[in-house]
Structure 1
Amino acid sequence: MSEPGPDRIAAIRRFNRFYTRQIGVLRKGYLDSPYSLGEMRVLYEIFRGDGPTASDIARALDLDAGYISRVLRHFEKQGLISRETSAKDARQSHLTLTARGRKTFAPLEKKSQVQVAGMLAHLNEAEQARVVAAMSEIERLLGHAGQADNELAYTLRNPKPGDFGWVVTRHAELYLEEYGWGEPFEGLCAQIVADFANKNDPARERCWIAERHGEPVGSIFLVRDSDEVARIRLLLVDPKGRGLGIGKRLVDECVGFARAAGYKQVTLWTHSVLTAARHIYERAGFTLTSSEPRHTWGQDVVAEYWDLRL
């Protein structure tokens, strides 16, 4: 441990003043909304969580339980959230956004994404990567232990040159090794990636790459099926990145982006043998709508179709 000198303290305070001004947290309404930054963070925790309780949110944000209660009562009066009594503890309620809450939150989430994109837009690819790496390093050094460490052990980013080739290669290698899937599975992956690379609409389609220690460890694509339906493709978490919650985070990013982009439904195609992925989809609120046995890629499989209404 080392006592920081006054110059370092002043530098950090200067950065804090710069960044709070940069993202507009000092304004009366965050993102020009009727809500403060604290209220928006509470909404975000409900949006991204799996039915969190008030206590869960208070712990996640390190906020006073009384303040959380007041914010939640305000949201409830506005019809933004609903409560469901916990089956395990009647004193606790699980919180979810109502349809009105999702409609309110989606444009604000989109506006936040646009704001950050605008901050980075004047930087080239290498400079953007440096900014993200520097922020991740600050989080790692100043963050807390436990769950936060898992979140800081990796970053999500847009694809860069070489990533699409990695997605195809790693899918082919891992699925052959773990499930015995052979040709034409690699060709299918290559076609999905090629279609996205050649004609994706950035406003309604995205790819996320999970990176850890400077190398890719996960991927997911969200593509347009129709004006109202988006499709998740090519969810993958490399063994080097498993156990950190990367799969859940990737799916959550897809769902959040789909809501902000105005889709009404997210659909996906998977297989019964992919138990970890199925569990992630189920926890995210997807419902198994149909299944059928097939013989493909050299194996007997059960194809499954899952849907989520937004």
Structure 2
Amino acid sequence: MEDTLAGTNMSASAVHAILEIGARRATTAGDLATALRLEKSTVSRLLKPMIDGGLVTEHRDYEDGRRKHLALTEKGRQSFDDISRRAGDRVATALSVLDDADIDHVVRGLESYSGALHQTAGPGTAKGTISAAIEIRRGYLPGLAARILDMHITYYGRSAGFGRPFEAKVGGELCAFLTRLDNPRNATWSAVRAGRIVGSVSIDGEDLGDGRAHLRWFIVDDGQRGTGIGRKLIDAAMAFVDEAGFAETHLWTFSGLDAARRLYEQAGFELVEQHPGTQWGRTVEEQRFVRHRRT
């Protein structure tokens, strides 16, 4: 509710405009209006005192004279650096009183909120930003087992009530699998965003035998679902099993996971078996899906 922000004499909108212009190699008033979610006329009024005050310059596009490109002056760049430094100091000071576990909770909460904002973005906003920032990496990454287990426990503990037996089962089998990862019939993929693992899937090519692959530990972190990460992970795994020549790929899950089931079926899996079971730590309707090799 303060009239100014970040130790400046500028409004919050002006500070946001400085940050947007400074973070982009090239931008126009139209780009700025989209980023700030403001009308172009409002952005024009916002820019005028910043241009008059020597913070921002504008020049016409050589090919389209109606377009004006914006850039920070040396004075504007100094304001950008001061704002960024002040913001960084305030965040660092706040986080300094938290332990590592609490900091991790803050990060995960912000990621979840960011994902929710992008999924509910209105017309003209940049949907898909999360997916564009995701990198699918194959192979072991430091902390992989811990993150996969954490994502499983967080999601299935909340949504299905799974507890200690489930955690022990997932953790034990996952760690055993990682010791066999050098076998070219086995592979794992991670979705990484800003250096953090936010999704995973693995193919175990040994445990079923007879030319059958086992799709395991498919999970997408809270706040990242609905952004296309799951499809990218499944596509990577299916390309691997087809190239490796597995005749079939099997997976075990349980009823009620409708979003995951749609991904499985789109990838060619079919439900072949369903019955009550307790291997997950409590009684659920277990399901087995099978996908035959695509030639």
> TM-score w.r.t. structure 1 length?
0.50
Letter in 2 for 1:277: A
2:37 maps to which residue? none
Q: Output the CA distance in 1 between the equivalents of 2:240 and 2:226.
A: 24
The one-character-per-residue Cα deviations of 1:190-223 (angstroms, maximum 9, x if unpaired) are 1221121112344211111111122111011101
Q: Report matched runs for 1:111-130 at 5 Å.
A: none
2:51 maps to which residue? none
2:167 maps to which residue? 186
Corresponding pairs, count: 169
CA contact (8 A) 1:212 1:241 kept: no
Letter in 2 for 1:153: A
The SS at the match of 2:217 is: strand
Do structure 1's residue 270 and structure 2's residue 253 form an aligned pair?
Answer: yes
2:204 maps to which residue? 223
Q: Which runs of 5+ in 1 are unaligned?
A: 4-144
The one-character-per-residue Cα deviations of 1:23-48 (angstroms, maximum 9, x if unpaired) are xxxxxxxxxxxxxxxxxxxxxxxxxx
Letter in 2 for 1:242: R
The equivalent position to 1:175 in structure 2, one of 156, 162, 166, is: 156
CA contact (8 A) 1:209 1:216 kept: yes
Q: Which runs of 5+ in 2 are unaligned?
A: 1-23, 27-124
Q: Output the CA distance in 1 between the equivalents of 2:210 and 2:127.
A: 37
1:239 maps to which residue? 222
Do structure 1's residue 203 and structure 2's residue 184 form an aligned pair?
Answer: yes
Letter in 1 for 2:151: R
CA contact (8 A) 1:273 1:301 kept: no
Do structure 1's residue 163 and structure 2's residue 167 form an aligned pair?
Answer: no
Sequence identity (%): 32
Q: Output the CA distance in 2 between the equivalents of 1:219 and 1:178.
A: 19
> TM-score w.r.t. structure 2 length?
0.53
The equivalent position to 1:254 in structure 2, one of 210, 234, 237, is: 237
Between Structure 1 and Structure 2, the one with more helix by share is 1
- Tell me how large the CA RMSD over aligned residues is: 2.2
User: How far apart are residue 296 of structure 1 and its match?
Assistant: 5.3
CA contact (8 A) 2:149 2:170 kept: yes
Q: Output the CA distance in 2 between the equivalents of 1:223 and 1:299.
A: 25
The SS at the match of 1:240 is: coil
Letter in 2 for 1:164: A
Letter in 1 for 2:167: E
Letter in 1 for 2:133: A
CA contact (8 A) 2:131 2:227 kept: yes
1:290 maps to which residue? 273
- Shift in alpha-carbon separation, 1:309–1:147, aligned structure 2, 3 A: farther
CA contact (8 A) 2:128 2:227 kept: no
User: How far apart are residue 182 of structure 1 and its match?
Assistant: 1.3
The SS at the match of 2:283 is: strand
User: How far apart are residue 183 of structure 1 and its match?
Assistant: 2.2
The SS at the match of 1:207 is: strand
CA contact (8 A) 1:268 1:306 kept: yes
The SS at the match of 2:209 is: coil
Letter in 1 for 2:235: D
User: How far apart are residue 178 of structure 1 and its match?
Assistant: 1.7
The equivalent position to 2:134 in structure 1, one of 139, 145, 154, is: 154
Which 10-residue stretch deviates more, 194-203 or 285-294?
194-203
CA contact (8 A) 1:228 1:265 kept: yes
Do structure 1's residue 213 and structure 2's residue 194 form an aligned pair?
Answer: yes
The SS at the match of 1:180 is: coil
1:301 maps to which residue? 284
The SS at the match of 1:184 is: helix
CA contact (8 A) 1:169 1:186 kept: no
User: How far apart are residue 148 of structure 1 and its match?
Assistant: 6.7
- Shift in alpha-carbon separation, 1:292–1:198, aligned structure 2, 3 A: same
The structure with the largest alpha-carbon Rg is: 2
